[in-house]
Amino acid sequence: MTFQPGQSGNPTGGRKDKPWRDALRIAIKEGDGQRLRRIADAVVTLAETGDMQAIKEIGDRLDGKPAQQTIVSGDEDGGAVNLIHRIERIIVDPKVRDA
């Protein structure tokens, strides 16, 4: 399906169902409204003690996850990958039928 300029790729406007996300949002909003702040404070406290997972989480949230390098090698010796593409154009006469 091809979309025209200015046309939405999500014409119905519906969101994907994510029950885990929805449950977390409800749980965080319950109580005094400070749950998320307490969770953030706990993560920062763990990072201050040297917890590498907490440090990584803070870095990922603030700076975004770092791009992962992809290394592609062709053969066992690490040679270059040879990509071979073939584009073939066949012109057919619609009046001629296959026998």
Helix segments in the chain, DSSP class H: 19-29, 35-48, 52-63
Give yes or no for a contact between 76 and 84, defined as CB atoms under 8 angstroms apart: no
Look up tokens 């700076």; give the residue. Answer: 63
pLDDT tens-digit series, residues 10-60: 667 667 788 999 999 999 988 788 899 999 999 999 999 999 999 999 999
Model confidence pLDDT, tens digit, residues 64-76: 887 777 766 656 6
Residue 29 sits at φ, ψ, to 5 deg, of -80, -20
